[in-house]
Amino acid sequence: MATNPVLLSTSSVYPENGAYAFDLAERLGYDGVEIMVWTDPLTQEPGALQALASLHDLQIGAIHAPTLLLAQRLWGWEPWGKVDRSVRLAEEVGAKVVVIHPPFRWQRDYAEGFVEGIAERQETTDVLLAVENMFPWRAGTSEMQAYRPHWDPVEQTYQHVTLDVSHASTGSVDCVDLLDRLGDRVSHIHLGDGTGSFKDEHLVPGRGTQPVDVLLRTLVERDYAGAITLEVGTRKASVTQREADLAEALEFTRKHLDQ
């Protein structure tokens, strides 16, 4: 297994299902898969996930908790229940990381004790609870703080952080600068790209304006020990274009990791 395994997120093949993601990851030469817990029943079942990982000889490197806006009803309405269930799923399938979004500002009780709740749970598991950098919501000249305690994790006391390049772009943040400010708290990477649009673009790395090549080389120089997950939007692509895009994304990543 590579020092820094390169994973394919199941979200990168949406609207195709998780089984297709495993098959495609094997065919393209990825080291493993990150599971975005979603309405696809496969993404919620540890036995089925382990069977697919074994069939395709791939690791399950990370679980993305169902904390997206469109997943509010999945696994019930109680946010901590989603986090705890995601951790149990990660433990059962051998994933090293659970990716978690910070709370929405209207989730008041959850947001109020979020930083402390993450810290408490981290003490009870070897799975890394890595909170993701997000971005302000914008419309025209207006900007809304949608996340609490903040979309930027730098000033928070999270032990582990997922650095998402596309989110950095949407937040007008340089991904290498964000890496510098977060330091060794970066435990997981979501690799994509963006042009600074208000839209969360998740472009193929190298097609946007983020210094993604520099980020990857810097991770190697600093002996980063975590995984790198390709989170690339292919929802509107044909099957042929999706597979070409995700092959290009993998080639770009391996090139700049010197793998």
CA distance 61 to 22: 12
Predicted TM-score of the model (pTM):
0.95
**74-93 pLDDT tens trace:** 888 899 999 999 999 999 99
**Residue 141 confidence class, pLDDT cut points 50, 70, 90:** low
SS3 content of the chain, % helix, strand, coil (to 5): 40, 20, 40
Average pLDDT over residues 38-47: 95
CATH 3.20.20.150 fits 6-257, yes or no: yes
Domain locations in the chain? 6-257
Structure tokens at 131: 């909170």
Confidence band (pLDDT; 50, 70, 90) for 2? low
Q: What is the sign of the dihedral through the CA atoms of 64, 65, 68 and 71?
A: positive
Q: What is d(CA 161, CA 148) in angstroms, rounded to the nearest whole number?
A: 15
Query: For all residues of the chain together, what is the average pLDDT?
Result: 95
- What does the alpha-carbon distance between residue 87 and residue 189 come to, in Å, rounded to a whole number? 18
The per-type count for the chain, helices as H runs and strands as E runs, is: 9, 10
Amino acid sitting at position 13: V
pLDDT tens figures, 7-24: 999 999 999 999 999 999
Give the 3-state secondary structure of residue 85. Answer: helix
**What percentage of the chain exceeds 70 in pLDDT?**
98
Task: Identify the three-state secondary structure at position 38.
Answer: coil
